[in-house]
Every structure is written in C-alpha cells, then in structure tokens.
C-alpha cells in the first residue's frame, strides 16, 4: 500500500510538472515567434532544425526561468508533503494554491508599480519646478524633467509629442493619469492649463502639487507602518498549524499519517483548512479596510 501511494504521488507530481511546462510553452509560443521574426542572424541560426538540441532548448529554458515566479514554489512543497505523508492530497492542495498565490503576487507587484509611478510623478513635479526657475520654458522643463525622472511612465511618448509639437498637453496628461498610480498627473494638467490660460506661475503650482503629493505619500507610509503589526498577527495565525505539526513530530507522533489516512484526520483537515482560510480572509479584509481608509 505504501509503495502504491508513493508511486501515485510521483506520477501525479510528474503530471503536474508536465502540465505546467505545456501551459508555459503554449502561452509563450506567439511571443517566441515574434522574437524570431525580429531577432538577429545568430538568434535565427540557433533555431534552425539542424542545430544541436541543447542550442535550441537552452534559450527556452532560460526564458522560462526568467518568467517563473514564486507561485510555482507551491508545487515542490506539495511534492515533498505528498512523499512524506504518502498521499496525493498535498498535490491537489498545491495545484489549487498556485492561482491563489499568483493573484496575491500580482496584486503586490501592481501595488509596487503604483507606488513607483506615484514617486516618479512627485519627482517630476520637483524637477520641472527647478528647471522653470532655472530659466527654461514650460515645454523644455517638462521634457527635461520627464527624461530625468521617467515620471510619465508608459504615456511619456504621447505627452512629450504633444509638448514638442504644440498639442493638447493637459489632455495628454489627463489621459496618462488613467494608469494606476498616476493620479497626480491630473494636478499637473490643471497647473499646466492654469499657467497657459491665466498666466499664473507654473513653478509655484508645481511646488504646491509636489508638497501635496508628498504629504499624501507620507500619510500612506505612516498608515502602512501602523498596520505592520496587524499584518504580523495575520502571519503568526497562518503559521500556527505548521507549529502544531512540528510539535507533533517532536513528540514522536506522525501527524501527516493521521491527517491523510484516517477518517478523523481527514475531517479535522477539512474543518481546519476551512477555518484557517476563513480566518485569514477575514483578518486580511480588516487590515485592507484600514489601509483603504
């Protein structure tokens, strides 16, 4: 029975790994084809069928390693638990955990990108105000600040084109403000409009905008620091079941065998997993509500 379970776990792990590789290759097939179309001669030569196999597969392996993210670490952990517990249930849990972890990591990366973009806009306002006081015209100051800070993000080409060729700069800035974290560009567009239509000083308006954006960022950082203790509590609660399993092992018990191979253990695993997930969701929701406010 033990040998059968171990073999089943190994087969399931191999199927999971093969499925991940197949999905990754299928998803990147179009991008790889585009890269081959615009690649140089050496890259195209490496894709020639007559080339050695390792020269064809090594670039693919490197690309997959660059694209691999932390959510795939759930699968090796699940395989280890499956082998130790001689059950396929950890493999199922690991496969279900991959999209959840991916969503969490994607949300974290989105938040970091939003914060970097907001910081870039603050720096853009400060540099543009300094360039204006140094004697540059508004268009020249905007071009210099955008090149020095990159605060316009992906909309830099559109905004700079409007500034160079006499286009609607405030409209381009408002369009760029639709990107996550770029709300400060709405204030920059308003300052630009007021300075052009009413003749007000653009440098003074940018200074006030920079101060307001910096104060808002400092407020968010202070709130995040205050909520760090709450997040630590959530992490501790999440690790308590792992501590309980470790204590069982230290006492000479076999908690994985009880959880995966007995009716009482399976019932405790189901109820405990449900309570654990509900508690983590509720605690994270409370903390995120505090961050949003």
**Segment 33-88, tens digit of pLDDT:** 444 334 443 333 444 445 555 555 666 655 555 555 677 777 888 888 888 878 88
Q: What are the domain boundaries of the chain?
A: 116-217, 227-293
Share of the chain above pLDDT 70, in %: 74
Query: What per-residue confidence (pLDDT) applies to 28?
Result: 45
Cα angle at 190 between 153 and 167, to 5 degrees?
65
Cα 121 versus chain centre, distance? 20
Cα 286 versus chain centre, distance? 21
Q: How far is CA 139 from CA 23, 125, 143, 169, 282, in A?
A: 48, 13, 6, 9, 50
Q: Looking at the predicted structure, is the pLDDT value of residue 289 above 70?
A: yes
Look up residue 262 and give its DSSP letter.
S
Query: What per-residue confidence (pLDDT) applies to 259?
Result: 85
Of the listed ranges 17-21, 130-134, 194-198, 276-280, the one predicted with least confidence: 17-21
Q: Looking at the predicted structure, is the pLDDT value of residue 218 above 80?
A: yes
Q: How far is CA 226 from CA 113, 147, 232, 236, in A?
A: 22, 35, 11, 17
Digit-coded pLDDT (tens) for 82-113:
888 788 888 888 888 888 888 888 888 888 88
Query: What per-residue confidence (pLDDT) applies to 5?
Result: 43
Of the listed ranges 13-22, 88-97, 175-184, 189-198, the one predicted with least confidence: 13-22
Nearest to 167 by CA among 196, 201, 146, 145: 196
| CA–CA gap between residue 83 and residue 92 (Å, rounded) | 13
- What phi and psi values does residue 49 have, to the nearest 5 degrees? -60, -30
| CA–CA gap between residue 129 and residue 210 (Å, rounded) | 9
Task: Give the predicted TM-score (pTM) of the model.
Answer: 0.63
């Amino acid at each position: 029975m033990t040998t059968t379970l171990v073999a089943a776990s190994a087969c399931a792990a191999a199927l999971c790994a093969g499925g991940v590789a197949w999905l990754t290759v299928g998803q990147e097939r179009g991008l790889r084809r585009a890269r081959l179309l615009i690649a140089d001669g050496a890259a195209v030569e490496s894709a020639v069928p007559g080339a050695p196999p390792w020269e064809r597969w090594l670039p693919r392996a490197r690309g997959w390693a660059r694209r691999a993210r932390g959510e795939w670490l759930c699968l090796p952990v699940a395989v280890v638990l499956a082998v130790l517990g001689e059950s396929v249930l950890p493999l199922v849990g690991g496969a279900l955990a991959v999209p959840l972890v991916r969503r969490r990591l994607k949300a974290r990366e989105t938040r970091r990108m939003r914060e970097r973009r907001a910081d870039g806009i603050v720096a853009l306002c400060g540099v543009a105000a300094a360039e204006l006081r140094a004697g540059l015209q508004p268009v020249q100051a905007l071009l210099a600040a955008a090149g020095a800070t990159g605060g316009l993000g992906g909309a830099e080409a559109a905004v700079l084109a409007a500034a160079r060729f006499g286009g609607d700069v405030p409209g381009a800035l408002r369009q760029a403000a639709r990107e996550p974290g770029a709300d400060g560009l709405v204030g920059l567009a308003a300052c630009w409009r007021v300075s052009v239509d009413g003749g007000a000083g653009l440098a003074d308006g940018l200074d006030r905008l920079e101060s307001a954006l910096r104060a808002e960022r400092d407020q968010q950082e202070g709130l995040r620091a205050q909520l760090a203790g709450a997040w630590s509590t959530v992490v501790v609660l999440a690790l308590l079941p792992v501590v309980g399993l470790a204590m069982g092992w230290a006492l000479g018990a076999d908690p994985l065998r009880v959880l995966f191979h007995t009716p009482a253990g399976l019932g405790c695993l189901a109820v405990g997993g449900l309570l654990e997930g509900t508690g983590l969701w509720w605690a994270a929701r409370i903390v995120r509500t505090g961050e949003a406010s």
